[in-house]
Every structure is written in structure tokens, then in C-alpha cells.
A and B are shown apart, each in its own frame.
Chain A
Amino acid sequence: MIAVLIALLTALLILVGAGFALVAAIGINRLPDVYTRMHAASKAGTVGSGLMLLAVALHAGDLSTLARALAGFFFFVLTAPISAHLLAMAAHKMGYPLHEQSVRDDLNDHQN
């Protein structure tokens, strides 16, 4: 009974995690410029991989795997925003324009 429950929960976590990863990928394709794309990559991507790591931990059902999966999630949360931030900053420094729907750019006003 418990084994079935754990299997179901694992399957659910993998499905939802994969769903978020898919949404992140679709977002990178559909969103108009590099800055908005970073939103999809950093958020949905992190949650997707986090849920799948959790599924691995649950499926293995042993403490050392659980702890490592949690550590993996922790480092994901630590590094994903930094890479998104660096990519956005580098793009802006190189003068990559915001999409034309954009309403304001305080950073541009600040630099000029």
C-alpha cells in the first residue's frame, strides 16, 4: 500500500517537474527578448529540476540520496538566478535592446 503511494507520488512529481521544464523550454521559444526569456529559464526551470530531484530522493527512499538531492536543489537555487542575472546584465551592457512592447528602461537612463 505504502509502496504504491510512494510510486504514485514519485510519478506525480516527475510529471509535474517535467511539465515545468517543458514550460520553461516553450517560454524560451515564445517570449520576445533575452530578458523575458531569462524569466522562464530561471523560474520554471529551477522548479522543474527541483521537483524531479525530489522524485529521485523519494524513489530511492534512503537518507543519503535524499540529502544529496536536497543539496542538488540547494545549489540549483543558488546558481540559476546568478546565471540569469549575468546573462541579462551582459546583454544589456552590449546594448541588446528590450522588446518594443517594453514600457520603461531606468537602467538605460541611468547609464546615459
Chain B
Amino acid sequence: MTTYILSLVFAVVWVAVTGSGTLHNLIFGFALSTLSLWIVREQMSARGYWRRMGRILSLLVLFFKELALSAWKVAVLVMSPRMELKPGIFAYPLTVDRDFEITLLANLITLTPGTLSVDVSADRKTLFVHAIDCSDPEATKRDIATGFERKIMEAFR
């Protein structure tokens, strides 16, 4: 069942890439993706692929929720007549250590409420995050650690 859904998603991507939305092209894309998925079927079933897929999806849902919230917060802040700001840069100790995971975490942090990643230390153990409201950095750190970082760990290890 999940294979069919994935084939369908790939078929839509195929339609996007080729730029022709006819039924024939969709069916052709579906056939192509089914064939490709059949070729890699063993690698996919071997390592808990589907469970991981679910976790990536849950990360995605969390991301869209946070993105909407974050745009809303910025809008409220900008439109308020007297802007009460306490900006600052705090150091966030990283638990994830692979380049790919750090990049993903930094991007997610940038698109979530009130935080913007500025730099990574040379030893890749600390992420420097600019917060628009830095009055309670410990709480922000906790939010990141129990939110995105934990979900990234679940999805990619």
C-alpha cells in the first residue's frame, strides 16, 4: 500500500519535472517510479524504511506548524506600535554531529519563531542562534532540544 502511495508521489514529481500534466505522462511516471521502487525493494524493507518515513513526515508536519506560527509572531511583532525587543545571540550545545543533520537543524531553527542560526563553532559542537526575544534562552534551548533535535535524531538514525 505504502509503495503505491510513494509511487504516486514520485509520479507527481515526474509530472512536475517534465512539465506536462497529461494522463499519459502521469501513468508513464507511475510506471517508472514503480519500476525504480521495485529495483531498490530490498534496501527499503531491510532497515525499517517505512517507520523512518513516518518520522520524517511527522518532522515535516511539526515544521509547517512552526513556520505558520513563526510568520504570525513576526507579523504581530512588526505591527505592534511599540516594539519591545530583547534580542541576543545564545550558544546552543549540539547533540547531533553529522554535517547533514546540523544543516537541517540550523535551517529549521531559522524558520521557526524568533530564532535565526548565525554560526557553527569550528568543532561543530555549538550552534550560535540569534533570538529576537532572548530574555529566557534556557527555555528556547529546551524547546529546540525536545522539539526539532529529538525529531531529527528519530528520523535519521
Residues of A within 8 A of B (CB): 19-20, 23-24, 26-27, 30-33, 35-36, 38-40, 42-44, 46-48, 62-65, 67-68, 70-71, 77-78, 80-82, 84-85, 88-89, 92, 98-99, 101-108, 110
Least distance between A104 CB and chain B CB atoms (Å): 4
| Among A35, A39, A62, A71, contact of B74 (Cβ-Cβ < 8 Å) | A39
For B65, list chain A residues within 8 Å (CB).
none
Q: B residues within 8 A CB of A89?
A: 118-119
Contacts of A33 in B (CB 8 A): 87
B1 to chain A, nearest CB (A): 22
Stretch touching chain A among B8-16, B48-56, B145-153: B8-16
Can you list the 10 inter-chain pairs with the closest CB atoms, starting with the nearest? A67-B16, A64-B21, A81-B110, A47-B71, A106-B91, A27-B78, A104-B88, A63-B21, A107-B128, A103-B88
Q: Which of B16, B118, B134 contacts A103, CB < 8 Å?
A: B134
Chain B stretch 2-37: residues in CB contact (< 8 A) with chain A: 12-13, 15-16, 18-21, 26
State whether B13 touches A85 (Cβ < 8 A). Answer: no
Question: Which chain B residues border A84 with CB–CB below 8 Å?
Answer: 110, 116
Instruction: Identify the closest chain A residue to B126 (Cβ).
Output: A110
Asked if residues B132 and A39 are in contact (CB atoms below 8 Å), the reply is yes
Establish whether residues B88 and A102, one from each chain, have CB atoms under 8 Å apart when the complex forms. Answer: yes
Chain B interface residue bracket vs A = 35 or more
B85 at the interface (CB under 8 A from A): yes
A36 & B118 in contact (Cβ 8 Å cutoff): no
Prevailing SS type, chain B contact patch: mixed
Interface SS of A by simple majority: helix
Pick the contact of B12 from A47, A67, A78 — CB < 8 Å?
Answer: A67
A-chain residues with CB within 8 Å of residue B116 when the two chains form the complex: 35, 38-39, 42, 84-85, 88
Looking at B16, B20, B70, B121, which has the most chain A CB atoms within 10 Å of its CB? Answer: B16
- Can you sample 16 A-B contacts with CB below 8 Å? A20-B71, A35-B87, A36-B85, A36-B87, A43-B71, A63-B15, A64-B20, A65-B21, A82-B107, A85-B118, A89-B118, A99-B85, A101-B87, A104-B90, A107-B128, A110-B126
Chain B residues with CB under 8 A of A102: 86-89, 134
Q: Give chain B residues whose Cβ lies under 8 Å from the Cβ of A71.
A: 16
Taking A64-B21, A71-B16, A81-B111 as contacts, is the C-beta distance between A35 and B130 under 8 angstroms? yes
Q: Does B87 contact A99, Cβ atoms closer than 8 Å?
A: yes
Q: Are A105 and B86 in contact (CB under 8 A)?
A: no
Q: Which residues of B contact A80 (CB under 8 A)?
A: 110-111
